[in-house]
Amino acid sequence: MLNPLLVAENLTKDYNSFRALDGLDLALAPGEVFGLLGPNGSGKSTALRLILGFLRPTLGRATIAGFDCWRRGVEARKRVAYLPGELRLYENMTGRQLVRFLAGLRGDTPGREVDDLAKRLDIDVDRPLTQLSSGMKRKVALLTVLVPKVPLIVLDEPTNTLDPTMRDELLDQLRQAKARGQTVLFSSHVLQEVEAVCDRVGILRLGKLIHLQEMTDLRGGRSVNARLVGPPPTAGPGGAPLGPNTITPEGQLSLTFRGPLPVLLDWLAKLALDDLRVEPIGLTPIYKKYHGAA
């Protein structure tokens, strides 16, 4: 990858004898949206905290725009906006005061974009934070992340406590960030939202990055589930051989197809079917492969 914005090289973190992150190698390009997936304790937050310079790596290093996240953390963090998973804000401030305070620490003075974004996110930024619900506080925190136009946005489970409408709004904001050329790195448990916005995902298990997935590969494939009421086919779509478990004795057909949609539709049209479901492959089967039930 040419000129990656974020690079992690053998990034490792030990807590005494416990290895929380084990040799993470990763490079994110400018304008890429990358999702980190994994259950609790898989190392997602540790990876993000190392990238933000909160933790000192035991081995390896992470850099943002070439600046070491630990040794030159200030330079690195000038290029990052971060939304923590465990959200705690200064409760004695209003939303506007918080945005101004954090922007002031960056040497910025936020302008009209605060009100514009607040309107889109449906927040009253002049109310004290102590009077806001947890969902509203998360929106204020999102505002603090979206206002500075930095090259990298890091979000730790950003849709926690957001209602479905605001979740969609957030995902839309992430798409806009990508369109502006900002890189987004976020961790999540919710596969659907990762599928919706990410260009790539990484799956972590016990501190190790065990799978990297280009989402374009998944989007080109479809899973087919149908119930046959006539004779079973002798070959798959486009004449491809059928796997041994593709059709059950009860006539249940399940297969994954990668190829042009008309080929699949032609093949299906020749079958006598009682029921049919065709879906994008999605992350669920891949996630299940490594972590059981998604």
Partner 1 sequence: MTLILVRKLLRDVRPALVVVCLLLFAFAGLWVKITQRVTAEITPFFDIVAARASLNPRVFEEVIFRGPGKVSQAVLGGADLRFEQPNDFLAVGMLHPIVLVLGCVWAVGRAAGAVAGEIDRGTMELLLSQPVPRNRLILAHFLVDCVVIPTLCLSFYAGTQFGLWAVGPFTVDYTAVRKLGLPIPIPEVPRAMPVSGTPELPALSNLAALLFALSGITMALSANGRSRWKVIGVGVLVAVVMFIANVLGQLWNDVEVIRPFSIFYYYQPQKIMLREEWTTNLGAVWNGGRPLFDVPVVGFLLAVGAAGYLIALRVFTRRDLPAPL
Judged by CB under 8 A, which of 6, 47, 102, 264 binds partner 1?
A: 102
Least Å distance, CB 154 to partner 1, is 8
26/80 with CB nearer partner 1:
80
CA distance 203 to 2: 23
What gap in Å lies between CA 30 and CA 13, rounded to an integer? 26
Is 37 or 64 the residue whose CB approaches partner 1 more closely? 64
Describe the crossing of helices 113-121 and 164-179 by its angle, rounded to 10 degrees.
140
| Interaction between residue 4 and partner 1 (CB under 8 A) | no
Stretch that binds partner 1, among 24-32, 74-82, 192-200, 203-211 (CB under 8 A): 74-82
Applying CB under 8 A, the span of 76-84, 220-228, 242-250, 279-287 interacting with partner 1 comes to 76-84
Q: How far is the CB of 119 from partner 1 (least distance, A)?
A: 23
Nearest to 151 by CA among 45, 67, 49, 86: 67
**Which of 31, 54, 65, 251 is the binder for partner 1 (CB under 8 A)?**
54
Closest distance between partner 1 and the C-beta of residue 98, in Å? 9
Query: Please, which residues have CB within 8 angstroms of residue 99's CB and are 6 or more apart in sequence?
Result: 110, 114, 125, 140, 143, 144, 147
Q: Please identify which residue in 19, 44, 77, 222 interacts with partner 1, judged by CB under 8 A.
A: 77
Nearer to partner 1, 79 or 127 (CB): 79
Closest listed residue to residue 7, CA positions, set 19, 20, 57: 57
Stretch that binds partner 1, among 1-9, 70-78, 185-193, 197-205 (CB under 8 A): 70-78
HEC readout, 111-176: CCHHHHHHHHHCCCCCCEHHHCCHHHHHHHHHHHHHCCCCCEEEEECCCCCCCHHHHHHHHHHHHH
Could you say whether residue 143 binds partner 1 (CB under 8 A)? no
Q: Count CA atoms within 13 Å of residue 239 on its CB side.
A: 0
Number of residues binding to partner 1, judged by CB under 8 A: 28
With contacts defined by CB under 8 A, name the span among 105-113, 120-128, 176-184, 284-292 that binds partner 1: 105-113
Burial readout 221-247 (b: 16 or more C-beta within 10 A, e: otherwise) = ebbbebebeeeebeebbeeeeeeeebb
65 makes contact with partner 1 (CB under 8 A): no
Residues that bind partner 1 (CB under 8 A): 45, 49, 52-56, 73-75, 77-78, 80-82, 84, 86-90, 92, 101-102, 104-107
